[in-house]
Chains A and B, each alone.
Chain A
Amino acid sequence: MIDTLTHLDRLEAESIHIMREVMADAAKPVMLYSVGKDSAVMLHLARKAFYPSPPPFPLLHVDTTWKFKAMYELRDRMAAESGMELIVYQNPEAKERGINPFDHGPLHTDMWKTEGLKQALDLYGFDVAFGGARRDEEKSRAKERIFSFRTASYGWDPKKQRPELWNLYNARKAKGESIRVFPISNWTELDIWQYIARENIPIVPLYFAAPRPTVERDGLLLMVDDERFPLKDGEVPVERSVRFRTLGCYPLTGAVESEASTLSEVIQEMLLTTTSERQGRIIDKDGGDASMEKKKQEGYF
């Protein structure tokens, strides 16, 4: 029998089903929006799921103030286009103490992202948060359910996950508990790119190669995105043709040298590369082997 639906069609239908299912039990859902390509796909799927209504929840950007400029631009544009409320949350304590990736190391992620997220969820009382994590990203993600249950302190207990059968999700929870929902769990990096191409989804231009001012530090190529970047003595930004495979805080995100300026070329490079997508990220590395699992137990997304 010939398949009427392609693999991408089925993935899309599954993600939409998941998003609609959340609406049954959630009191106050929110979509975590990090402006990356996975967020872009997730937002697009949400618009499809609820059309002609706008998605019945706000977007939450847990901001660190250190994202790339181009990300802030796209974020504001997409929020306006989707007709959704955009909540930008910045941990006031991190702001006051001037926490930054250059001087504070892991504390930067801890305070701005992990703590910031918890504070925002508490402040608004969100009980369900959509996240754009995929199982193919990392080995502890590969173990996580689509509906991932969190304790009142937002901890994840990998040994106590609820069984998740068929496409039946148990979204019941007690007061104070919350659920993270990952509608694109079953998508691979290649699926994401093909879908972006198929659906013409706007993404941050940083994913495409262009000449950008960069410096090399600890084996990473960092982009000097604004004047806050503290150059060391004698360090001069060099114009290189680079692009990014993932996007985060610009001082923590490594670029790759590349000439790929179209989607096809980006996909081509991705398929021929010999290193993983998360390699350019510092977050997975501090703390060794189980660092992502540990972060998740502490409430990191």
Chain B
Amino acid sequence: MTDPVYVTDALIAEDIDAYLAGHEKKSLLRFITCGSVDDGKSTLIGRLLYDSKMIFEDQLAALEADSKRVGTQGQEIDFALLVDGLAAEREQGITIDVAYRFFTTEKRKFIVADTPGHEQYTRNMVTGASTADLAVILIDARKGVLTQTRRHSFLAHLIGIKHIVLAVNKMDLVGYDKTVFERILLSYRAFASEIGITNFTAIPISGFKGDNITALSDNMPWFNGPALIEHLENVEIGAAADEAKPFRLPVQWVNRPNLDFRGFSGQLASGKVRPGDAVRILPSGKTTTVDRIVTLDGDLGEAVAGQSVTLTLADEVDCSRGDVIAAADNPPEAADQFEATLVWMADEAMIPGRAYWLKLATQSVSATVQAPKYEINVNTLDHLAAKTLDLNGIGVVEISTDKPIVFEAYGDNRTLGGFILIDKLTNATVAAGMLHFSLRRAQNVHWQATDISREMRSDLKNQKPALLWFTGLSGSGKSTIANLVEKKLHRMNRHSFLLDGDNVRHGLNRDLGFTEADRIENIRRVGEVAKLMTDAGLIVITAFISPFRAEREMVRSMLPEGEFIEIFIDTPLAEAERRDVKGLYKKARAGQLKNFTGIDSPYEAPENPEIRIDTTAMTPEQAADVIIDRLLG
């Protein structure tokens, strides 16, 4: 059977330049295959590659040999092996991570991402979906709509994929029965409309046998089309739609080859720009005009959404990485509190109150997430109450950032509305997020300007403010040494204040318990209070176990450089437990105290504390002297 879709060889042989000219103008469609485990996603892609002659003879010979050795189809070709490229995938016969594959037909170029069906690897499906224009959702004709079919449909829709194809696969195994197809179509339609997918194209196929892939199959005369490839070739993608939106350019890099040139490099997220256009730099709000659009091939008269360019501006305005250059009369907002949908992608659950890095376009800020407003059950679409989000959990949350970021709703602009969260300790990408709207405009909350500055306050006290942050296990000696330090400072006429863990819990933080989330909130409040006190010019001393590195770093980042002095009271667990001044270790060992640091809750020792005190090698008195020397010396 010669296939009209791929009869290009003749043209290539006769007039290569004509072929290439045509090829260069072909549009690109990026799509994914998704659905439940074993529904045949990889097989379908293998089939598409095979049918579009993307498989060379040497690869085909290898495929035939592999199929016999590790394939799932006996002596026949297992097309999935073309795509499942990792050793672990071939051994287990499943897909673990996304594979990106490429093929071309007469009309179009395609990049297809084959995503895993396994729930455990949902994050990899989301990775593939985030850059796709279209999703082919596969269903095994024998099994019908499954949980993963729903989850993937929901995620595809959530991430904004406009075109959905429902491919009812393995029709060969149900005798190409029309009623099976129609039954599945009906039940999928009901679910789809509930999540807001109003439009999709359903095609009965067999990826394995090749039915309704490149051409309509004689095995299903009851189906009028289109065949899968025909549909993929003709679906409208509107790659240029972003050009009609207002101009936005997130600045990636400031280009300064010499003193006479200052350019701002970035990729246009939307709109168009020309020299002479009035622009506004955000979040500062300064306005200026575009002077030149500089490229290696000469200056451009216009740049459009998607292009990577370097702009120079008419005035010397402040502008650096993370800023957004936008149309002056139609700029985006800046805010520091948002509602967003989060897809949690890490094995460790989300910790409300903990600070994560948030990356949105070229902006990186510190952000905390509140406990979810609700979690979405992808099966029932119910909104569930939730304290956190676990791996693959999807929920709606409120997020606050430590400084305003420039944004748009994800639905309006993916580049300025999509973000990731990064764990500050492991550097892992833990969540993907889509912004809905800001909860209040950051512009409306002004800092109250005061006439007396923090420098003036501390000058009056004849000292430099500082925060001496003691950290260490329970019973390590924090309070004892902190107390001695304050006594010595007092004798030296220094103005200080000691914030002690136990004391604060009787007042300011008496509503907090000892769960991980509460401990984080405890430290956050103490940090804020300590910061106000340093603003007042005081030397603040705190004595809290403060077991988590991320929270200590959070407090460090609240203060001016150099004012946070981390003091690690380094007493080994065995020694602290032997001393057991308050009898707490005994209780914890007996199971009467939960979440006790060192016993059933971790202590993350500082990696680079400003001061480390080894209590097994010096007395509290000596320790206090070391600290004072370091502070005033």
What residues make up the interface of A, taking CB atoms closer than 8 Å to B? 1-10, 12-14, 16-17, 20-21, 23-24, 47-54, 135-136, 138-143, 158-159, 161-168, 170, 172-174, 185-186, 188, 190, 194, 197, 264-265, 267-268, 271-276, 279, 289-290, 293-294
Contacts and interface: CB of A to CB of B under 8 A. Distances in A.
Interface of B is mostly: mixed
Given A162-B428, A294-B87, 20 more contacts: A10-B28, A12-B308, A14-B308, A48-B295, A51-B294, A51-B295, A52-B255, A52-B257, A53-B255, A142-B85, A143-B86, A163-B123, A166-B131, A166-B414, A186-B111, A267-B16, A268-B13, A268-B16, A271-B12, A271-B19
B248 to A, nearest CB: 14
Interface string B240-271: 11010000000011011100010101110000
Nearest to B85: A139
Nearest to B95: A143
A7 B26 contact: yes
Contacts of B321: 24
B432 interface: yes
Given A6-B25, A49-B308, A24 B252 contact: yes
Interface string B82-107: 11011110100000111111101000
B28 A159 contact: no
B79 to A, nearest CB: 13
A273 B56 contact: yes
Contacts of A272: 9, 12-13
B206 interface: no
A284 B104 CA distance: 25
A3 B345 CA distance: 35
B20 A166 contact: no
Contact of A51 (B26, B109, B123, B310): B310
Contact of B296 (A6, A48, A142): A48
B261 A52 contact: yes
Interface string B8-50: 1100110011011001111110000000000000000000000
B368 interface: no
A51 B308 contact: no
B20 A13 contact: no
20 contacts: A1-B239, A7-B24, A17-B252, A24-B252, A24-B364, A49-B265, A52-B261, A53-B255, A139-B82, A142-B99, A159-B96, A161-B124, A163-B123, A165-B130, A166-B414, A166-B415, A168-B360, A170-B422, A267-B20, A271-B19
B97 A161 contact: yes
Given A49-B265, A53-B257, A163-B123, A143 B99 contact: yes
Contact of A167 (B96, B97, B415): B415
The 5 A-B residue pairs whose C-beta atoms are closest, nearest first, are: A139-B85, A16-B308, A290-B87, A268-B16, A53-B257
Given A52-B261, A163-B123, A194 B102 contact: no
Given A4-B243, A9-B307, A190-B23, A164 B97 contact: no
A279 B56 contact: yes
A13 B83 CA distance: 27
A170 B16 contact: no
B238 interface: yes
Contacts of B261: 52
A1 B241 contact: yes
A50 B310 CA distance: 9
B57 interface: yes
A170 B419 CA distance: 11
Contacts of A273: 56
Contacts of A14: 308
B99 A5 contact: no
Contacts of A268: 12-13, 16
Contacts of B265: 20, 49-50
A116 B100 CA distance: 30
Contact of A165 (B90, B267, B420): B420
A135 B308 contact: no
Given A165-B418, A273-B56, A174 B427 contact: yes
Among A8, A13, A293: residue with most chain B CB under 10 A: A13
A163 B432 contact: yes
A7 B253 contact: no
A143 B432 contact: no
Contact of B126 (A5, A7, A165, A265): A165
A3 B308 contact: no
A273 B364 CA distance: 47
A50 B585 CA distance: 59
Interface in B292-319: 294-297, 304, 306-308, 310
B359 interface: yes
B603 interface: no
Given A24-B362, A194-B23, A185 B100 contact: yes
Contact of B97 (A5, A159, A166, A188): A159
Contacts of A4: 240, 243, 304
Nearest to A174: B427
B310 A166 contact: no
B557 interface: no
Interface string B598-623: 00000000000000000000000000
Nearest to A135: B100
Interface in B61-120: 66, 82-83, 85-88, 90, 96-102, 104, 109, 111
Given A161-B97, A163-B127, A20 B253 contact: yes
B218 interface: no
Given A17-B267, A275-B57, A293-B87, A8 B24 contact: yes
Contact of B418 (A7, A168, A267, A275): A168
